[in-house]
Amino acid sequence: MQKTILVTGGLGFIGSHTVVALQEAGYEVVIVDNLSNSFAFVLDGIRAITGILPRFYEGDCNDRDFMQQVFSKEKVEGVIHFAAYKAVGESVAHPLKYYHNNLVSLIVLLELMQQYGVANLVFSSSCTVYGQPEHLPVDESAPILPAQSPYGNTKQVCEEIIRDSVQAGMPVKALALRYFNPIGAHPSAHIGELPIGVPNNLVPYITQTAAGIRPELSIFGKDYNTPDGTCIRDFIHVMDLAEAHVKALDYLLRQDAPSLYDYVNIGTGKGHSVLEVVQTFEQVNGIKLPYKFAPRRPGDVEQIYAKADKAKQMLGWQARRSLDEALRDAWQWQKALKEKGILEKMQKAEANS
C-alpha cells in the first residue's frame, strides 16, 4: 500500500522537484499550495516527468479550516513543509507578513498533525540560521547566531517550535533540513525555478541575463576576504536537494521512537565564489555573460559552505551532481520557458504583482 505524503508549497521550486523525487520513490503525493509564489501549471510539468498527477488542494496553510479538510480527506503518513515566504530583502521591509505567515502555518500544521496522528515531519530550514559561521565548513554543532533578517529568524523560531513541541511530548518525528543554495532545474526542463518579478537569487538572475531579459548581472561585492573577492556559497543541484527529502522521510519512517527532533545540513560540502559561478555558466553553456561589479548587498554573509557528513552518515545521502550540471540544467530550463510560452505567463504575473 503506497504511503501518502502531504507536501505543502509543493508547486514551488524545491517543492515541485521533491514531489517528482517522492513519486519516483513510490510515495503517493498530495500537494497544498496557495499559489502566492507558484503556478498551477507546474502540476503538468510534474506529470510530464513521472506520468503521475499529484492530488492538489489550492489553499493557505494558515487557514485552519482549509487544512482541517485536507487532513480529514487524506490519510497522510508524513508531511514535508515547504510553504513559507523566503525573500530575505522583502522580509526586512515586511517583517510581520513573514512572522505571521511562516510561524502560523507551521503551528496550524503541527496542531493538525497531532489531532490526526500524523507522526513524521520534514521541515524546510536554511543555512541562514548560522549567520556568518566562525569555522568553515559549517557543521550542525555550530552556534545559531542572531538572524541577519526576519526571514532567517522565522527559520530559527520554526526550528525551536518543533524542538519544543517534541520535548513537550508531541508524538512526532521531525527533521529540519538546513539547505544551502539550491540551483538548477530538472534535466527534462519540464520544471524549474519560476521567480516572479526581478530575481533576488544569483542563478535565476544569471539565466535571465543570458536570455536577454535583464541587461546585465551585478556582482554584489568584489572586496570580500576571499580568493577572488566575491562571496562564496555552497550551490547544490535542486534534484540532489529533492532526493535528500526522500532520504529524510525514509529515515523517519524507519524510526521506532515515538518522537524525535534533529537537524541536518543539506549541501555539497564545496564552496564556489559568485565569480566562479558566472565563469562556469559561461563555459558550460558557451555564453558570454554581461556583468559588472557593484557594491556589497546588505545582509550578505561573506562565505558559507556545508560540512555534509551528518547527512551522509544519518540519511545515507550525499550530493551527486556537479556545479556544471546544475548551471547547464538551469540554462536549459530558462530556454524552455521561452519555447513553452511560460515566460509570457510569468511576465503577465509580474505585471499583475
Contact residues for ligand WQD, defined by CB under 6 A: 86, 88, 126, 128, 181, 200-202, 205, 217-220, 231, 233, 274, 297, 300
Concatenated DSSP letters of 180-235: -EEE---TTSSS-----SS--SHHHHHHHHHTTSSS-EEEE-S-SSSTTSS-EE-E
Closer Cβ to ligand WQD, 112 or 219, answer by number: 219
Residue 200's CB: how many other CB atoms inside 10 A? 14
By three-state DSSP, how is residue 89 classified?
helix
Q: Residue 80 phi/psi, 5° resolution?
A: -115, 120
Residue nearest to ligand WQD (CB): 231
DSSP one-letter code for 129: G
By the 8 A CB rule, do 8 and 56 touch? no
By three-state DSSP, how is residue 100 classified?
helix
Closer Cβ to ligand WQD, 54 or 152, answer by number: 152
Shortest distance, position 233 Cβ to ligand WQD, whole Å: 5
Closer Cβ to ligand WQD, 162 or 202, answer by number: 202
Query: How many secondary structure helices (H) and strands (E) does the chain include?
Result: 12, 13
Shortest distance, position 308 Cβ to ligand WQD, whole Å: 17
Q: Which of 27, 57, 130, 151 is flagged as catalytic?
A: 151
By the 8 A CB rule, do 15 and 9 touch? yes
Shortest distance, position 202 Cβ to ligand WQD, whole Å: 4
| Side-by-side strand order, sheet with 120-126 | 55-58, 28-33, 4-8, 78-81, 120-126, 173-179, 260-266
Closer Cβ to ligand WQD, 118 or 232, answer by number: 232
Closer Cβ to ligand WQD, 71 or 151, answer by number: 151
Shortest distance, position 115 Cβ to ligand WQD, whole Å: 29
Shortest distance, position 65 Cβ to ligand WQD, whole Å: 28
DSSP one-letter code for 292: E
- The residues pairing with 275 across neighbouring beta strands, listed in sequence order, are none
Show Cβ contacts of residue 141 under 8 Å, excluding neighbours closer than 6 positions.
Answer: none
Shortest distance, position 134 Cβ to ligand WQD, whole Å: 18
Pairing verdict, β 272-273 and 232-233:
antiparallel
Closer Cβ to ligand WQD, 86 or 307, answer by number: 86
Ramachandran region of residue 4, left (φ > 0), alpha (ψ -120 to 50) or beta?
Answer: beta
Shortest distance, position 64 Cβ to ligand WQD, whole Å: 25
By the 8 A CB rule, do 217 and 297 touch? no
Closer Cβ to ligand WQD, 23 or 208, answer by number: 208
Query: Is 151 designated active site?
Result: yes
- Active site positions, annotated: 151
